[in-house]
Amino acid sequence: MSSRRIFATAKRLLEQLRHDPRTVLLLLAVPLVLMILLRYLFGSQLVEFNQLAPMLIALFPFTIMFVVTSIAMLRERMTGTLERLLTSPISKLEILLGYGLGFGILAVLQVALVLLLTFGPLDMRISGSISMLLVFSVLDALMGTALGLLLSAFANSEFQAVQFLPAFIFPQMLLSGIFIPRDQMPQALRYLSDLLPLSYAIDGASRTSLTKIWTLASSIDLSVVVIAIPLALALGALTLKRQTN
């Protein structure tokens, strides 16, 4: 494992983005616009807004990073640069970690801007911890990156990759407790939602913004998300095939 190659890959990704300012603008501005929209949607119902917003703060970067990463990786595969990398000394895991780091830096920036906006001009109030909400949101974005990298191995075209959003992310979203609290779900769906990493990501963000008291449940939320990231990356390295037909 070489940190030089991981850093070089992250740097290369950020350089690619620097030459594509419109993508960067979309990445950073879209979550902000969505939060503004949400705020005015709720109008004077501040209690509801304060309850829902933390969950969406955790959800938006997760979703956006998932899509961006899977497309970026797919593009790398289709233009032949991935094959070039695989015939060079860089390892598959180093490539994926480089991606994680590069997009992770972007995710921190994205989440920081959202928090500045919501806690500033949008006047959001939570009784829990803002810093833990930041931690959860960034980790969720990283999890989106890791899952995007993993799933991009199963897409052979952009059409397929984009379909992973409704096929893979939407069901997790429905079961994550944003729409119906998880303890009010039918038993079978409750068990299903227990198996999905996004449930813990959303629970974590929601719990940490409700109260400053750290519970066993918060620890479980954090651990699941923290473990899911390297697990998805490791699986991604396994599914990334050096030899293809």
Binding site for another protein (CB under 8 A): 4-5, 8-9, 11-12, 15-16, 19-20, 79-81, 83-90, 242-245
In the complex, the smallest distance separating the C-beta of residue 191 from another protein, rounded to whole angstroms, is 39
List the structure tokens of 233. 């990356």
Return d(Cα 46, Cα 28) in angstroms, integer.
25
R_g of the chain, CA atoms, integer Å:
18
**83 or 123, CB closer to another protein?**
83
How far is the C-alpha of 164 from the C-alpha of 70, rounded, in Å?
9
Q: Report, in Å, the least distance between residue 12 CB and another protein.
A: 4
| Helix (H/G/I), strand (E/B), else coil: 57 | helix
* Closer CB to another protein, 87 or 127, in the complex: 87
CB of 175 to another protein, least distance (A): 37
User: Token digits for 145?
Assistant: 């990156």
* CA-wise closest residue to 67 among 163, 171, 172, 154: 163
Give the pair of three-digit tokens for residue 238.
Answer: 């396994």
Nearer to another protein, 4 or 195 (CB): 4
Report the residue number, 51 or 160, with the smaller CB distance to another protein: 160
Least Å from the CB of residue 17 to another protein: 8
